[in-house]
Chains A and B, each alone.
Chain A
Amino acid sequence: MTEPPTRQESRTQFNEDWAATLIGLVLLVLVIIGVIPPGLIP
């Protein structure tokens, strides 16, 4: 008996792609508009 195919992993990865893109860009915009100021990140 084999394990089920790996569609689920595949799907999770695509969601992580979008999440990473969104969070990365939102953080960049927050830095540029000054919400995350210099010295805040340890």
Chain B
Amino acid sequence: MTQTQASVRTNVVLGVVVVLVLGAATRFLEKNVPVWFEGDVAKAVEYPVYAIVLGLIGNAVLTATGWRERLEGGFRTEFFIKTGLVLLGASINLKVIVTAAGPAIIQGILLISSVFLFTWWLAGRLGLDDKLRALLSAAVSICGVSAAIAAAGAVQARKEQLAYTASLVIAFALPSIFLVPWLASVFGLTDEVAGAWIGGNIDTTAAVTAAGALVGEDALAVASIVKVTQNALIGVVVIALTAWFAFRVERAPGARAPGIGEFWTRFPKFVLGFVAASVIATWYLGTVSGAEGKEVIAVANDLRVWFLILAFVSIGLEFKVSSLREAGWRPVAVFASAAVLNLVLALGLALLLFSGFTV
């Protein structure tokens, strides 16, 4: 191993240590603030808020001291959120997943296709590069950063286009984490409809989980099922993009249509883990007494909260304003317009498909 590789690894480990320390601080604040300050406000502030705020503070400190770029390899938002979601599967009965899957798939197909096509059209009208159009459309319509990464691979986008799209996703997701749960309570939505709205509207999976957790456990369950369904649909969109770019945009000589293998390569495997965890926990709960089962699943829930905290801290640490400034106003205008359409459509579909649904 060369010295450079060794120092990169050391920095990744240091980055993970920073995330863990801020995660521990989040857990500490979550448990102690309601004890220190009596009153409803202190009790109402939950772990996603502490985690994101501490992440943003850590980001500011590391940026000011010149350490952020070096340590960012340890800010593994995607890994933490996916592990957290697999563990979340253990607290959702398989029957709930099966019942919610139908409306979630319908919502996913309608939302993804309309928001994707709108974004693609508007970005074209404003003269954006085709690859950036693809990234923005995938990010805003499917599942934020991970969809942008998958789309970037499919259309061979440039690194700076991916970094820019990821920053845009997080810039819009951060306020949504607080705005959508607040609007849901203003509109008097049930937890299930609020969860479906959050899962359908907010782009990035970590932010969906944070917003769902702010509303409550039932909202979190529905939001995560809806978002996991959208994640599962990435494969279809990526195949369509690969084919579209090969045959229509770049007209590569001898280009072959992507097959089922490509779909499997692009399929987010953690979706299988989420369902498998639900299967295992549903089976386990059928073999033990109610009290024992509850106590054991509570341990899995504690682990899940830890991984979600680490993901939320990482979101705050990863946020970068600099790449947003470089790309100008047009992509921001496209993303903002698509986000508003997504917000309205997702609310309509959540009311239509999830009214009367109970966890």
Contact = CB atoms under 8 A, between A and B. Distances in A.
Interface of A: 2-7, 9-11, 13-14, 16-25, 27-29, 31-32, 36-38, 40-42
B302 A32 contact: no
B177 interface: no
A15 B217 CA distance: 29
A41 B159 contact: no
B79 A6 contact: no
Chain B contact residues, majority secondary structure: helix
Interface of B: 24, 27, 76, 78-79, 82-87, 89-90, 146, 149-150, 152-153, 156-160, 162, 265, 268-270, 272-273, 276-277, 280-281, 284, 295-296, 298-300, 302-303, 306-307
Contact of A21 (B82, B150, B295, B307): B82
Nearest to A40: B299
Contacts of B158: 2-3, 5-6
A17 B270 contact: yes
A23 B149 contact: no
A13 B159 CA distance: 15
Nearest to A39: B299
A33 to B, nearest CB: 10
A24 B153 contact: no
A27 B85 CA distance: 13
Given A10-B153, A38-B296, 19 more contacts: A9-B149, A19-B83, A20-B79, A21-B86, A21-B270, A21-B276, A22-B273, A27-B303, A28-B90, A28-B280, A28-B281, A31-B299, A31-B303, A32-B281, A32-B284, A38-B298, A41-B302, A41-B303, A41-B306
Contacts of A2: 158
Contacts of B300: 27-28, 31
Contacts of B76: 16
B296 A31 contact: yes
Contact of A25 (B159, B280, B298): B280
A31 B306 CA distance: 15
Most chain B Cβ neighbours within 10 Å, of A2, A6, A7, A9: A6
A20 B281 contact: no
Contacts of B269: 14, 17-18, 21
Contacts of B150: 10, 13
Given A6-B157, A29-B280, A31-B296, A21 B273 contact: yes
Contacts of B159: 3-6, 9
Contacts of B149: 6, 9-10, 13
A17 B160 CA distance: 23
Nearest to B161: A6
Given A9-B153, A25-B86, A31-B300, A38 B281 contact: no
Contact of A16 (B79, B84, B157): B79
28 contacts: A4-B159, A5-B159, A6-B153, A6-B156, A9-B152, A10-B152, A11-B153, A13-B146, A13-B150, A16-B76, A16-B82, A17-B82, A17-B269, A17-B270, A19-B83, A20-B83, A20-B86, A21-B269, A21-B270, A22-B273, A23-B83, A24-B86, A28-B281, A31-B299, A41-B303, A41-B306, A42-B24, A42-B27
A41 B302 CA distance: 7
